[in-house]
Structures are given as C-alpha cells and as structure tokens.
A and B are shown apart, each in its own frame.
Chain A
Amino acid sequence: MSTTGILEFLTIFVLAIFVGNEVVARVPSILHTPLMSGSNAIHGIVLVGAMIVMGTANGTGQLILGFFGVLLATLNIVGGFTVTDRMLEMFKAKPADKASAGEGSKGGGH
C-alpha cells in the first residue's frame, strides 16, 4: 500500500466524521437508547474484518485468535440488531392510531 492509499483512507475517515455528527444531530432524547444500541450493532460490521483475517490466518495460533475474532464480532452484530429491534418493536406497537382509538371511548378526558 502506497502513501497515496493511506491518504485516500484518511479522506474517507475525515468525511465520515462529519457525516456521523450530522446524522445524529437532531435525535430526540427518547431515541437515545435505541440509537446507542443501533450504532452498537452497526460497529458489529467488524465481522467483515474478522472474516478477512480468519481467511488469511496461518497456523494454529492465528486460527484461534481469528476464530474468537469472528465469534465476538458475530455476537456484537447479531445480538446488537436483535436487541435494537426488540426495543423499537415496543415503540412502534402503540403509537397514535391505537392510542386515539382507545381514547375515543373514554370521552372528554382531555
């Protein structure tokens, strides 16, 4: 990899910092926990890196390290997305439509 290569990666890195800041700038506080959990799942994409390393591993030592790398990364990505979905499932279950239907029968509560 030449020095030009690292500069390209640095460019992407710096641009991604700005995108990362921008996309979460207007998150309501009720979504802080799901957002943290969701971004936790997203960094589980480290699995791709762990797979590449595992594919190139030579010898028992590297295979063991690589195996645990893939295992831990899978826990991160699968667990992360599953738990985030569970959180958001609850948010979605009873929004406006069902709430207003329920409120109708109670009459002038408001």
Chain B
Amino acid sequence: MHGPTLTNWIDLIYLVTAVGFILALKGLSSPKQARNGNILAAVAATIAVVATFFNPDAQFHHKTTNLILTLVAMVLGAVIAVPVARKVKMTAMPQLVAIFNGVGGGAAALISITVFLQHSQLSAKPAVYVIAEGIIGLLIGCVSFSGSAIAFAKLQELMTGRPITYPGQQVINALVGLAIAVMAVLTVLTGSVTLMVITVALSLVLGIIFVLPIGGADVPVLISLLNSFTGLAVAASGFTLNNNLLIIAGTLVGASGIMLTQMMSKAMGRSLANVLFSAFGSVVTAGGGADGTGETRTVKSGTPEDIGVLLAYARKVVIVPGYGLAVAQAQHTARELADMLMERGVEVFYAIHPVAGRMPGHMNVLLAEANVPYDELKEMDDANAVMSTVDVALVVGANDTVNPAAKNTPGSPIFGMPIINADEAEHVVFLKRSMRPGFAGIDNDLLFNEKTTLLFGDAKDTLTKLVSSVNDA
C-alpha cells in the first residue's frame, strides 16, 4: 500500500468532481446558468484527470513507458477533438454528439476488455461478480460504440436515413441478443478470453442491427438513448475499477439520459418502445405510396412577389422553421427576412416545435447562432395560444410538425403528436423543396388547403427571394 493518505486525498478530489458534475447538470437546466454549468463540469473533470496521475491505483510512478504513452494518447486526442468541435457546422451538431458519444462507449469497453485480460493472467480467479461487472461494461460499451457509428453514418448521409428492414429482422435481433446473453454467462463462468472476444464481436453486431431499422427522424431520440447507454457503461467501468467517480458520473448520465430520451419521445407523441421497434418510416412509406390519390389534388403555388406582398402588409407573421431550414443553412436568411418585416412594423415571432430540426432544442441553437433574440422564439404551446390572431404562418422546411392529421385523423401514424397549429392562421405559406412528404412519409392536408400558398425551392433560395420582394413591396 503506497500510503493510504494519498489514496484518501485522491478520493476526496474525485468526490469534489462528482459534486461539480451534479451542480453542472443542474446548471445546464437553466438558460442563464447553462454555460457556467458546462464550464464547471469541464474544470471539475480537469482536476480529476490531473489527480489521476498521482492516483496509486494507476501506478504511474514506476511505469514511465505507460505514463508517456498515456500523455501521447491524451495530447493526440485533444489535438483531434478541439478543431473538429470548433469548426463543425451547427447543423452537423447531432452527428458530432453521436461520434463523441460512441468513442466514450468504446473507451468504456476497452477498459473492461483490458481489465478482463489482466484478471485472466492472475493465478487466482476473481469473484464471479467482478467478471460480471466487466462483461456488462464491455457489452453496453460495444453496443453504444457501433450503434453510434451507424447513427453518425445515417445523419452524415453516408448511408440512407430511411429505416433498413429485412424479413425476420425482429427474430434475428432477438437471436443475436440471446446469443450474447449465453456467451456473456459462459464468459463469466469460465473466464475464457476466446468467449470474451466472441461476446465483444456479437455486441458490436447487436449495436448495428439495433440501429438499422430506426429512421432518420428518430435518430436523435436514439442518440440520447445511446448517450445514456454510454453513461451506464462508464458506471460499469467504475464498478470494475472500484472507482466512485466513474460510478457516480456514469450513473448520473445514464439516469438523466433515460429521462431525456423519454421527454424527446413524448414530444413526438410516441412511446420509446414505438420509436425503437416499430420501423415507423417503412410502415408509413407503404401507406404513403398507396395514398397516390394525393397527387391528383390541386395545390396553389405562388410567386415570391405575391408572397412578399402578403408578408409585407401583414400585421402579425409567425415563422415555423423545420428541418429543411436547417439543411439549407437558411437560419440567417430567415432572420434577415424577419428583421426586414419588423422594420416595417410587422410583428414577427418564431414558433418552435419541440422536435424541430434534428434534435429537441436544435432549432433554438441554430436560430441563436443567427442572432435571433430569445424573446422572438415561442415554444409550441405559447405559439398555438396566439395562432388564431396571426395573419401569415410562414412554414419553412417543416411538414410533419404542422400536419393537422395529428389532430384530425385517428388512423394516421402521427395521430396524437402535438403540432403547431399553423392551420389556424389566416394564411399559410409553405416554403418547400417539393411535394415529397416529410420524414413520417405521410401527406399533409394543409398543403391542399385553400388558404395555403406554396413556394417551391431550397429554403435559402426562396427566403432570399422573399427578402428582395419584401424590400420592393
């Protein structure tokens, strides 16, 4: 024992860090304290990392090679991570969170694997629960790692965002799950390295096949869930290493992540199970195809000039931004239009659906980036309360979040999802790329409504045209 006093001091520092994390999460729940909360967590984490160099458990004091390699890995990691995190576009934020989450899961899995190998070198076999802790960490960590990689690929459009389904999918997933359970138990009982490697491989496969059938629109909920998984994997590493800090931090993230995931599913009007297992998009695409009658209905499309006049002489305009605005990077142009209308005395506000953009709150981040002041953003319920007094609802790249089918059509897959009641405004203007349905793959009756005017094109182009037509009006 290298001096219990030092160990005690390190444990005390870890406790301070854990408290810092709890306060940081609390801070992140209020707009005013959020940034300080994040900085607090970063400072707390730095203190713990520095202290770990002196942690007798790590034995750095008599392993110079290990110490040097650790420092090299840390510097390398920081040199890669900082520029990526600084330069990535705000619209690409979700996939960045996915990738940072995945590597965390990977790190937790590597810890469990290495400790397992260390134990297998010992002559005395460790207690069953010690191996079990490691296997749990390895399993969850691997699922989170490969699952996040697929989520990243879907969001980055390296692969289709549509759900990928094949016959017998549920059965295959269940069989893989079962095989992992059997392998994990056998590994725990025998301590065999070969069986451990098979468990790792199967867990990586499970992460992939678990994520494949989940459609693009649901990926944010999935990332939140995987974030929670990584937290649990970190907690499991804490059990393996007898480290309180990892247990507390990992569990905090695991528990709060599950809560957050449920809030997100709720915002979409669905249960978490439904998001994960229904292959929502594919079922509905079939329905959308059969619904070909929609194409024979007429829509009214307008010119930028018509719509510019409509906007310029309105008293109250609400902008309903959606995913299309984010993709087209049109948030700055939207703000330009809003500013121009406000200069003319038009009252303008933004109605933000909880799942607008790609993640809950993502739209707020994008609009904040475009310097849209807080008080112009209204959350869904507040926006709906005043919707009947609005002259023009300008829907930019949104579709499902304003689809009245969620209120009126009990058979619709999105029935029950809370929506922004754009249909209650006097006029509705849709800026859309095409008549293609939204993520949910269902027709939107509001497009065919007689008070609706459509303007086709990329959100940024059409908004730019509207800016100049409002200017001329």
Contacts and interface: CB of A to CB of B under 8 A. Distances in A.
Interface of A: 1, 5-6, 9, 12-13, 16-21, 23-58, 61-63, 65-96, 98-99, 102, 106, 109-110
Given A5-B242, A29-B379, A45-B48, A99 B260 contact: no
B246 A16 contact: no
B250 to A, nearest CB: 6
B22 A67 contact: no
Given A80-B100, A91-B365, 14 more contacts: A9-B239, A9-B247, A16-B235, A29-B360, A31-B361, A40-B101, A43-B101, A53-B111, A56-B118, A70-B74, A74-B73, A74-B76, A82-B86, A90-B365
Main secondary structure on A side of the interface with B: helix
27 contacts: A12-B247, A24-B259, A28-B29, A29-B354, A35-B29, A35-B361, A36-B97, A39-B260, A42-B252, A43-B234, A49-B240, A51-B49, A52-B52, A52-B57, A53-B111, A55-B59, A56-B59, A65-B110, A70-B77, A71-B76, A73-B77, A75-B81, A77-B45, A81-B41, A83-B85, A87-B365, A96-B374
Contacts of A41: 38, 41-42, 45, 100
A15 to B, nearest CB: 9
Contact of A66 (B30, B41, B94, B114): B114
Interface in B62-77: 63, 65-67, 69-70, 72-74, 76-77
A14 B29 CA distance: 22
B25 A68 contact: no
A71 B374 contact: no
B74 A48 contact: no
Interface of B: 14, 17, 21-22, 24-26, 28-32, 34-35, 37-39, 41-42, 45, 48-49, 52-53, 55, 57-60, 63, 65-67, 69-70, 72-74, 76-78, 80-82, 84-86, 88, 90, 93-94, 96-97, 100-101, 103-104, 106-108, 110-111, 113-115, 117-118, 121, 127, 129-130, 223-224, 227, 230-231, 233-235, 237-257, 259-260, 263-264, 267, 342-343, 345, 347, 352, 354, 359-362, 364-365, 368-369, 371-377, 379
